[in-house]
Amino acid sequence: MSIHPTAIVASSAVIPESCSVGPYSMIGPNVVLGEDCELVSHVILDGHLMVGAKNRFFSFACVGVAPQDLKYKGEPTGAVLGDNNIVRECVTISRGTVGGGGTTRVGSNCLFMAYAHVGHDSVIGDGCIIANGAAIAGHVVVEDYATVGALNQVHQYCRIGKYAYTGGGTTVTQDVLPFSLTSAKRETQAYGLNKVGLERRGFDEARMRALQRAYRLLLASKLNTSQAVEKLKTDGIVTDEVAYLVEFIESSERGVLK
């Protein structure tokens, strides 16, 4: 067994010899690990936590910790993880509450990306991806092979169906259909030139005028993006900044916001 000398491991914790516990990690007295688990460093495993085989926990992950619920009074609740899960930096997975059945459950082969949160009494199926900064409230069910996008907010008691994909920044307040692509409406657009920022960076009047003209063509004229770019090229590109703007647009693979 590989346990770093700075790690704090309760004597009653069950840790197979095939596991690796990295620096400054803490394992509570009611934690049971399966074979070949790795705690990279600064990991906290707590509560009545049952972990399957070949799970990998990265720095500052906190799994099985007390639920963020004011009704919780220290009852002996827990969490269960299956096999082959990857829990990245600063992920939090709370243990259950008495009112929710007492157990938070995670299946196998899931990826929890940095800063994701899984609330108390939630159930995560097999093969799920919970992306960066996604916040899953308590009592949520994420079914098998669903993907919860970055910075999603999932309201308590919601269900995300099998094979669903929720786009980044989506707030989920009702059940998400299985097999669906579900995303918040996006209305991001460019409003004009970053005049104050450019002036602070020393852009002189001539450079500013050239960029302002370019942006009028791009954003305020009746020309589409391709037509505006051709107009800029036809009229003559007078500064390096306008040349860079044209090159940036022409080399874009996903299109530009405007």
Please list the active-site residues: 120-121, 138
Residue 195's nearest CA partner among 204, 176, 208, 182 is 208
Q: How many CB atoms lie within 10 A of CB 145?
A: 20
Instruction: Report yes or no: 104 and 132 within 8 Å, Cβ to Cβ.
Output: no
Instruction: Report yes or no: 86 and 56 within 8 Å, Cβ to Cβ.
Output: yes
Structure token pair of residue 55:
């799970």
Instruction: Report yes or no: 225 and 231 within 8 Å, Cβ to Cβ.
Output: no
Q: Positive or negative CA dihedral for 95, 97, 102, 106?
A: negative
Residue 168's nearest CA partner among 142, 140, 122, 129 is 129
Phi, psi of 39 (to 5 degrees): -105, 110
Per-residue 3-state assignment (H helix, E strand, C coil) for 95-108: CCCHHHCCEEEECC
